[in-house]
């Protein structure tokens, strides 16, 4: 095994800045093969990724974490993507129901520390349970969303999953993203049209006024609007300089040490 750090990826990230999302998908397919999956929480960006995979008939599973307390509209969006796009969505679930968790630990999401634990148990841990199956995950984070994501790299280290995140939409502007949604009539979560710019669990997500920041509806009861659930490592401040361990030959190919792969 070989160690791969975020710093190791700096040159590759710079060279990928002009690549299109489809080119990045192609690179990831060639590089990681069957050890590649995508992530989606059934929000706009994740639906765009699902549409792109469908358009090129990419045989890439899409991992979706059903926390057990999602809005019904979110689950229906998942089902529509499967039925209409023909994509393979793999639904992951927490070890315990919300009722079982509450009976054991109380109502966690009523404090900042509890919210972090709740998100870890219900969002992150289900993903970690399948971590050994994948070397890379296609994500949908965009710099245009601002906040912690304003500088998200295209290739990012994910220490918890011990894999590489490939953020294929990172460099899309708001206009480019909206144009893609409209031109391709992408299936999206209907809650986006009902005052929810971002959508999480039904316990901790509320509608947002036009005058408020986009993430004002997430954990509104806990204070600052810049909070994130932690499922995306680049969202969490103060946890940088990460590294992962991958097979030596894979690290060499990713960094172009032995294989000069062009996209």
Active site residues: 229
How many CB atoms are closer than 10 A to CB 146? 13
User: What's the rounded Cα separation, in Å, for the pair 234 and 148?
Assistant: 7
Q: Can you state the percent helix, strand and coil of the chain, rounding each to 5?
A: 45, 15, 40
CB-based contact 155:16 (threshold 8 Å): yes
Q: At 216, phi and psi to the nearest 5?
A: -65, -25
CB contact set of 76 (below 8 Å; sequence gap of 6+): none
* Of 60, 74, 25, residue with least CA distance to 187: 74
CA–CA–CA angle 69, 73, 77 (5° rounding): 110
CB-based contact 75:67 (threshold 8 Å): no
User: What's the rounded Cα separation, in Å, for the pair 168 and 151?
Assistant: 14
CB contact set of 247 (below 8 Å; sequence gap of 6+): 1, 2
CB-based contact 160:131 (threshold 8 Å): yes
């Amino acid at each position: 095994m070989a160690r791969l750090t975020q710093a190791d990826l700096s040159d590759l990230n710079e060279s990928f800045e002009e690549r299109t999302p489809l080119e990045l998908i192609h690179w990831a397919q060639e590089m990681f093969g069957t050890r590649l999956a995508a992530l989606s929480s059934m929000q706009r960006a994740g639906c765009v990724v699902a549409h792109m995979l469908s358009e090129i008939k990419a045989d890439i599973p899409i991992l979706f974490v059903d926390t057990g307390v999602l809005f019904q509209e979110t689950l229906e969006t998942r089902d529509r993507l499967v039925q209409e796009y023909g994509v393979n969505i793999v639904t992951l679930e927490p070890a315990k129901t919300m009722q079982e968790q509450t009976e054991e630990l109380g109502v966690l999401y009523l404090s900042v520390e509890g919210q972090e634990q709740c998100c870890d148990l219900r969002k992150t841990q289900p993903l970690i349970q399948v971590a050994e199956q994948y070397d890379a995950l296609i994500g949908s984070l965009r710099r245009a969303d601002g906040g912690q994501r304003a500088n998200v790299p295209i290739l990012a280290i994910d220490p918890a999953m011990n894999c590489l995140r490939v953020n294929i939409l990172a460099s899309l502007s708001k206009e480019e993203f909206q144009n893609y949604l409209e031109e391709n009539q992408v299936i999206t979560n209907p809650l986006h049209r009902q005052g929810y710019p971002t959508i999480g669990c039904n316990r901790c997500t509320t509608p947002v006024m036009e005058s408020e920041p986009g993430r004002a509806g997430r954990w509104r009861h806990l204070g600052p609007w810049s909070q994130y659930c932690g499922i995306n490592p680049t969202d969490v401040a103060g946890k940088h300089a990460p590294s992962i361990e991958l097979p030596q030959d894979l690290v060499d190919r990713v960094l172009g040490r032995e294989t000069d792969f062009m996209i």
